[in-house]
Amino acid sequence: MDVNLYDFHLPEELIAQTPLKERSSSRLLTLNKQSGEIGHHTFKDIVNFLNPGDTLVLNDTRVIPARLFGVKEDTGAKAEVLLLKNLEGDRWEALVKPGKKLRKGTVILFGDELKARIDEEGDMGARIITFSYQGVFQEILDRLGQMPLPPYIREKLDDKERYQTVYAKHEGSAAAPTAGLHFTEELLDEIRSHGVSIAFVTLHVGLGTFRPVSVEVIEEHEMHEEYYSLSRETAELLNDTKARGGRIVAVGTTSCRTLETVGSACAGGPLKEMSGWTQIFMYPGYEFKVVDALITNFHLPKSTLVMLVSALAGHEHIMTAYQEAIDRKYRFFSFGDAMFIY
């Protein structure tokens, strides 16, 4: 399958640079995956598209202030490190800049309290690094680190919490599960009062978020692994939901990938408590085992996320919906508007 099938022209001015003042005031495009029917709403209206007996599944990962700016110990040259995944103890997988000058054995200083040594080199700026410090690492990171906003966002974020969901809990992500940014506590309460259950999974967003599809044939693309966890409580709730005929509504592609990873592992049987690493890659032809509907933002051209939503709603429906979103000047990407595929 040709990756260019998922390309489209996106005017730069439609890339949202800042979050809206009110989380749930963003726009909502609805897409019926069977008929292709499109509707235009405000995100607060999402409650009208959820049925009593449905279960909404949220990713409760929390973004860490993973971007660090330092200098090379030997030359004083500037160096940037983006933490992606904690391997064990003080060893991390990271992206570095400038990649060509930060080689194995290089030591990077971040002020007087934090030091990093590059142990291994990977492709496209990927490194394995080990930190040394005095004190508590998370406290140091909170002081020195910055929120790892995607490269297409050039505006400074005044409030760090606007790049966290209101239900963010388990620290470990290098990027926010952005579909969840539209929810407020009040909207979640309204959804519960509508007879919809709310469940949580965890997927720590990692390197795959920052890596474009660099192959021409989709099937040759290799996804980077990310840690996920689905609790026994969530598994039981989802099994009950299916048994009574309710829908599983995933909030974001990260929740979707977690649910489908567990669904695949359970081979169509009841879902079970599970955690581990996933590299699941969904594109047209994939048969969904758990997810019935999806709330998601608008994604980058030729990205694995456009392929995922095309797997759920069909390539033609998605391309038509995206063009309508562009024509109507919806806001795209992390701080942009939302889409509900049902």
Structure confidence by residue, pLDDT tens digits, 260-306? 999 999 998 999 999 999 999 999 999 999 999 999 999 999 999 99
| Euclidean distance between CA atoms 134 and 140, whole angstroms | 9
Structure confidence by residue, pLDDT tens digits, 190-224? 999 999 999 999 999 986 765 678 899 999 998 98
Examine residue 52 and say whether the peptide bond preceding it is cis (omega within 30 degrees of 0): no
pTM of the complete model: 0.93
Structure confidence by residue, pLDDT tens digits, 81-101? 999 989 999 999 999 999 999
Average pLDDT over residues 156-175: 93
Mean pLDDT of the chain: 95
Average pLDDT over residues 221-247: 96
State the DSSP H helix or E strand holding residue 126, giving kind and residue range, or none if neither. Answer: strand 126-133
Average pLDDT over residues 235-241: 98
> Is the predicted pLDDT of residue 57 greater than 90, yes or no?
yes
Beta bridge partners of 116: 108, 131
> Is the predicted pLDDT of residue 25 greater than 80, yes or no?
yes
Q: Given this model, what pLDDT does residue 141 score? A: 96
Chain-centroid distance of CA 129 in Å reads 24
Average pLDDT over residues 303-324: 97
Least confident of 130-139, 144-153, 264-273, 305-314: 144-153
| Euclidean distance between CA atoms 159 and 254, whole angstroms | 23
Q: Given this model, what pLDDT does residue 271 score? A: 98
> Is the predicted pLDDT of residue 163 greater than 70, yes or no?
yes
DSSP category for residue 232: H
Tokens 């509900």 belong to 340
